[in-house]
Structure 1
Amino acid sequence: MCPKQIAIDFGTSNTLIYIKGRGLVLQEPSVVAINKNNDRILAVGFDAQRMIGKTPVNIQIIKPLKYGSINHFDIAKVMLQNFIEQTKQGGRFFKAFSRAEVLVGVPSGITQVERRGIEEVIKEAGARKVMVVKSVVAAAIGSGASINKPKITFVVDVGGGTTDVAAITLGGILVENSIKVGGNSIDEAIIHYLKKKHNINIGEITAENIKIKIGDAIGKEEKVLEVTGQNLTSGLPILVNINSAEIFTAIKRPLDKIVAAIKKVIEQCPPESAADILENGVVLTGGGSLLNNFDTLLRNELGIKVTSVEQPLIMVTQGLGITLDHLDLLDSMMLEYSPRDIQNKESIIQEDKDIEE
């Protein structure tokens, strides 16, 4: 019996799981609610997200990933186990996840230690083998780009915790850059601005709602939104009207950092790649790219065309799912087995034989 093959986009903001033969089976926020008195997990995903800002002192809301790497190992493991449990089909769960081959997307700028942490969490959750691919490459594959050709595919993946930028060609990364700025940074900028300019405090859910409703990457929109927050002086609830011009001012700094990161990669590309970049432009993906007029901002700043994918939130997972059908190409691409799996390849083969017997 062949082992189950699973792809996981283990993101700072969201976790997505794809099972070969079934497609995308889970898309939940990477959030956990825990009872501090006994360390018991109370809720994960959407159930935990709904508790944000409304919990008593004994309940803590934790996001176990930060900037694409594991921040709370044990909680990340339990969260992943809960998510895996939710992928039951017809009341039957594929054999305890213990025989699964898992392909996971990781940020470009991740360190070996951070990468090992992600691998260990997935292993601890029960996976038999873990393989990794850079999320920006998976996003390129998911968008339909032919990354093995001698043509530059330029990808910008704006996630919750990081923005990854890469020029990809001939199955490898020519130049890449990763910064710890993403959708969450934009939310944080809105929170900071309202504290400074309006003397009110808002939560991350409210900040994200403001970003979605009146956020604009080029300051073109002229919208007003009534926002409820907490007066920092009196501590009492207060209503204020916020306009889109203010939000543009608030989020300009993180947007400038993303643009600078993209320009840095373009500048580092060899001169021969300029024609490809000009012809093919930029593929824009990731949940952070849903900010209104983000693609227009990049066109204005870079002077090249920008293509926004239709489903940016699932593009990495889609690419990982496609890659599951071509695992034989891992050695010739930037996709790779983890060092531990390479070292234990013979024992893994023997494990398969033992299980089948």
Structure 2
Amino acid sequence: MRILGQDLALDLGSASTQIYVRKRGIVINEPSLVVRSGATGKLVGFGAEKPVQTGEDEPEAIRPVSGGVPVDKELTRRMLRHFLRKVHGHPWSRPRMVFALPSDATGMVRDLLQDLAYQAEARRVYLVQHGLAAALGAGVPVRDAAASMVIDVGCETTRIAVLSFGAVVCAATVQAGGADVNRALAAQIRRDHGLDIDEHAAELAKRSIGTAWKPVRRKASVRGHDPGGRGAAIVSISAEQVYEATKQPVRAIVRTAVRCVESCSGDLAADVADRGVVLTGGGALMRGLARRLRAELGVPVQRAERPIEAVALGLGRCVDDLGLIGKDLAPTRR
């Protein structure tokens, strides 16, 4: 059994990769990063590892996944093998794996995810609809006839799903997420103060004073550097600036959610209006987002108890009981 490996679920995200092991819970939650040496081109780190920097070598951090889909197959494979070795330790482990399948995934993407899993030494692969996994992890009663809606706000992509009778009956994807707010905020600071800030600084500011609802009078200090090479500087930004940066991504999410509901039957749309929406994903943590969506959509909106881990937890429920979803959880075969 040690060689076969324990069954596991893998949530492959743009920002982080989470691995759930059967009966143990989430054991890996690390950034989806591969670090390559600028001098030699060799891979020197994965995930949360901090590579040793020598001399003038400046390591390059690469995100091989975008919107839950590998954009660099080889780097994603190497990263997954690294994470799985940390879980199992045994180089010959052949676990059964459950992956989340994006609702808009093409046959090519489906084949790519399967191939990655088998190359990572899976002995059998299961693909579960992303919206269904998010709903299961958020505790949504997916088997009910009455429809429920889940909005998963990720780093670069927001996925919306309406579920009924244990299946996704309507799904939509919008290319908007937490990273868009960071980029908009960085563009504002560049325009207003002539400074460049990195993704980490923008994320800290967003978490500190960010709000998607009417901003309060709060400020935060952000460290940036002059693109002209005149050194670093610290500027003060307001909650109003962060609020402005959220407008376009939130509008895109609202428009897509409305279209998704409108494409449902009258009965399902009435169910969503009654039951409301559950928010998952890292973007759900932004203050005021649920309140703003509630005002825009006109339905109740609440955040899942563990929004960042919702998809991994939902996939984990499938791992703990592979018969949970019946025919919708049929294994893929090579």
Distance 1:224 1:276, change over 3 A: same
**Is 1:326 matched up with 2:321?**
yes
Per the normalisation by structure 2, the TM-score is 0.92
SS in 1 for 2:87: coil
**Is 1:83 matched up with 2:79?**
no
- Give 2:26's aligned residue: 24
- Contact 2:262-2:269 within 8 A present in 1 as well: no
The aligned runs of 1:34-113 (5 Å cut-off) are 34-48=36-50, 58-88=58-88, 93=89, 96-97=92-93, 99-113=94-108
Q: What amino acid is the match of 1:303?
A: G
SS in 1 for 2:214: coil
SS in 2 for 1:161: coil
**Is 1:337 matched up with 2:323?**
no
CA distance, structure 1, for counterparts of residue 166 and residue 138 of structure 2: 15
**Is 1:128 matched up with 2:120?**
no
Per mean C-alpha deviation after superposition, the further-off stretch among 247-256 and 323-332 is 323-332
Percent of pairs with identical residues: 29
SS in 2 for 1:238: strand
Deviations 1:75-115 (A, max 9, x none): 11111111112224xxxx35633x21100113222222223
Deviations 1:198-237 (A, max 9, x none): 2110111111111111111013222101111012345421
Q: What amino acid is the match of 2:84?
A: I
CA RMSD of superposed structures (Å): 2.3
CA distance, structure 1, for counterparts of residue 320 and residue 207 of structure 2: 36
The aligned runs of 1:1-357 (5 Å cut-off) are 4-48=6-50, 58-88=58-88, 93=89, 96-97=92-93, 99-333=94-328, 335-338=329-332, 341=333, 344=334
Q: What amino acid is the match of 2:131?
A: V
CA distance, structure 2, for counterparts of residue 309 and residue 259 of structure 1: 18
SS in 1 for 2:309: helix
- Contact 2:65-2:71 within 8 A present in 1 as well: yes
Deviations 1:117-157 (A, max 9, x none): 22222221211222111222111111222212211011111
CA distance, structure 2, for counterparts of residue 191 and residue 109 of structure 1: 30
The runs of at least 4 consecutive aligned structure 1 residues that moved more than 6 Å come to none
- Give 1:352's aligned residue: none
- Contact 1:4-1:101 within 8 A present in 2 as well: yes
1:293 Cα offset (Å):
0.8
1:188 Cα offset (Å):
1.6
- Contact 2:85-2:91 within 8 A present in 1 as well: no
SS in 2 for 1:46: coil
CA distance, structure 1, for counterparts of residue 51 and residue 243 of structure 2: 26
- Contact 1:161-1:180 within 8 A present in 2 as well: yes
CA distance, structure 2, for counterparts of residue 157 and residue 49 of structure 1: 32
Per the normalisation by structure 1, the TM-score is 0.87
Deviations 1:42-81 (A, max 9, x none): 1211235999xxx955521100101221111111111111
1:320 Cα offset (Å):
0.6
The number of residue pairs the alignment matches comes to 332
Q: Extract unaligned runs of 5+ from structure 2.
A: none
